[in-house]
Amino acid sequence: MLAALEEQVHFARRRFGHYEMIDFVAVLLSYAISGERTLEAFYERLQPFAHTFMALFGRERLPHRSTLSRFLAALDQAPIEALRTLFLEDLSARPPEKSEKPGGLWDRQGNHWVVFDVDGTRQVARQRAVPCTPDLPPAQRRLSEVCAPGYTGRKRGEVVRTRTTVLQAHTHQWVGMYAGADNGDYRGELRQAGKAISEYVKAQCLSLSQAVVRLDGQYGNGAIVADLAGLSYVMRGKDYDLLDMQGVQTRLTQPPDQQTSHPETGTCRALFDFPDLSLSPIGPRTRVIVATHPATETEAKIGITRGKVVYELFYTALPQAAFTPADVVDLYLHRGGFECVLADEDQEQATDRWCSHTTWGQEFWQILAQWVWNLRLELGHALHPTPMRTTEFASAQRGEPAPDPASRPASTSPCCLRAATVGPPIVHQRVCRS
């Protein structure tokens, strides 16, 4: 890995002094593992054995904190893209399950799918009020390049930076990340994520049509459906004007195709399946599932309430014969596991820690932090091998064959989203980390 970084990631700078890029990479990789909240605290702990530490990487000197800061500030797009490419190549070349077919989701017809979660996480920054009078120069904010006013969620701050992450849902490995100030360019970042997913599945000798992308309601409109051409997807929709279409209103007065009950909240949804619905007069057509449930005294935070009924929309490109409406909704709701991974990342590595006040410097650090996460997953499995775990998340329907234990693949790889028999869809467990 380090040799590949030295050979393939190049950055030309007039004054590099005694240091090469590998010196700064070594510091940032170790910082990601350390758990220290700031670079200052990390350097204080590292200083007593700095020479020995750098010798582990074949280097002589530990770069000073200010030298690291100048290096990150001087980075441009070219080395970042080279690092991103190398990161994805390393991920594809070193799958955690080497002895058999990669983990995934097997549908009711026995087809293999690989699920990816794409969503943004936000890091906010506080900005103190400063005096603004004619006799004073304009205030210079240190984070003005990487942050801007935007949606901060429940976090406390005045400016925000959004980092769109791509997760392989079966192994919990990061596939990529793309960041921007304020709310980011979510469509542009999604297109970049689609390219990374395409390269990943190609390296795994899978068809692009076998990749399923799960997205939340931020992406739920016809423009995103058009951007995902070639990929399968499950997303929550937000084009509630579809409910006003005459054909949809007529169908909603009839019995539902299926009913499902959430095991934790007890919410009972009636599901109406529209296999080929146009999202706009000139827009794309897709499969739409309308879920309804009775409104309560508490206002529904998700969906739209009309009268005494809450309506939710789900868009998908998954085939009807392989995924029932309940399968599609359950697959989307299993996206909650992605939030757990983000929470673990915050606790164990805090990838959103500030390392640089420049866009490319911060992105350089965060790609390396994701690389460390993936390496820890691999090393954790090597230290404590965990057998593949198969989880059935939907029961068989009438007419489907019962699961045959003899037909299940050998359980020799780390816990992954996996279904093993023709019949109900089946899913996963996470890998361990060192």
In a domain, 328, yes or no: no
Please indicate, yes or no, if residue 83 is contained in any of the structural domains. no
In this structure, is residue 15 part of a structural domain?
yes
What own/partner pairs with CB < 8 Å and gap ≥ 24 does 372-376 have?
A: 372/29, 372/32, 372/33, 373/32, 373/173, 373/174, 373/345, 373/349, 373/433, 374/90, 374/91, 374/173, 374/174, 375/1, 376/33, 376/433, 376/434
Q: How far is CA 170 from the centre of its chain?
A: 12
Positive or negative torsion for Cα 146, 148, 150, 151: positive
**112/256 same-domain check:** no
Per the structure, the count of domains in the chain is: 3
Domain of 138? 101-216+335-434
Whether residue 125 lies inside any domain: the answer is yes
Same domain, 110 and 207: yes
> How high is the pLDDT of residue 431?
44
Say if residue 120 is in the same domain as residue 27. no
How many CB atoms neighbour CB 280 within 10 A? 14
Of all residues in the chain, what percent carry a pLDDT higher than 90?
A: 42
Question: Is the pLDDT score of 289 beyond 70?
Answer: yes
80 domain residue, yes or no? no
- 273, 412: one domain: no
Instruction: Please give the Cα distance from 123 to 363 (Å, whole number).
Output: 13
Query: Tokens at residue 232, please?
Result: 């399968």
pLDDT, greater one: 106 or 424:
106
Spatial distance between the Cα atoms of 303 and 292, rounded to a whole number of angstroms: 9
Task: Say yes or no to pLDDT of 432 above 50.
Answer: no
Task: Point out the domain boundary residue: 323, 345, 360.
Answer: 323
Q: Identify whether residues 342 and 212 lie together within a single domain.
A: yes
Q: Are residues 203 and 341 in the same domain?
A: yes
Of 292, 323, 354, the last residue of a domain is: 323
**What would the two tokens of residue 160 be?**
């925000």
Query: Are the CB atoms for 108 and 323 separated by under 8 Å?
Result: yes
Residues 6+ apart with CB under 8 A from 16: none
pLDDT tens-place string over residues 345-356: 988 888 988 899
Is 89 a domain residue? no
Q: Which two tokens stand for residue 41?
A: 């605290």
Rounded to 10 deg, the angle between the 65-74 and 21-34 helix axes is 110
* Of 30, 27, 23, 34, residue with least CA distance to 60: 23
Residue 121 shares a structural domain with residue 206: yes
**Can you tell me the mean pLDDT for 326-338?**
90
Residue 98 has pLDDT above 70, yes or no: no
3-class secondary structure, 71: helix
CA 350 – CA 352 distance, rounded (Å): 5
- Do 317 and 356 lie in a common domain? no
The tens digit of pLDDT for each residue in 397-419 reads 655 554 443 444 433 332 333 33
Please report how many Cα atoms fall inside a 13 Å half-sphere around the Cα of residue 106, on the Cβ side. 21
- 339 domain residue, yes or no: yes
Residue 191 lies in a domain: yes
Residue 391 sits in the same domain as residue 426:
yes
Q: Where are the beta strands (DSSP E) in 151-284?
A: 159-168, 173-181, 211-215, 232-237, 258-261, 268-278
* Residue scoring higher pLDDT (101 or 9): 9
Domain end, chosen from 57, 74, 91, is at: 74
| 220 closest CA partner among 290, 124, 316, 145 | 316
Q: How confident is the model at residue 140 (pLDDT cuts 50, 70, 90)?
A: confident
Verify that 204 and 340 share a domain, yes or no.
yes
Are 372 and 283 part of one and the same domain? Answer: no
In whole numbers, what is the pLDDT of the chain averaged over residues?
Answer: 84
CA 414 to CA 386: how far, in whole Å? 5
Task: Convert the pLDDT of each residue in 45-81 to its tens digit.
Answer: 999 999 999 998 888 889 999 999 999 999 999 999 9
19: pLDDT confidence band, cut at 50, 70 and 90? confident
CB-based contacts of 394, cutoff 8 Å, min separation 6: 324, 326, 327, 330, 424, 425, 426
Q: Are residues 340 and 196 in the same domain?
A: yes
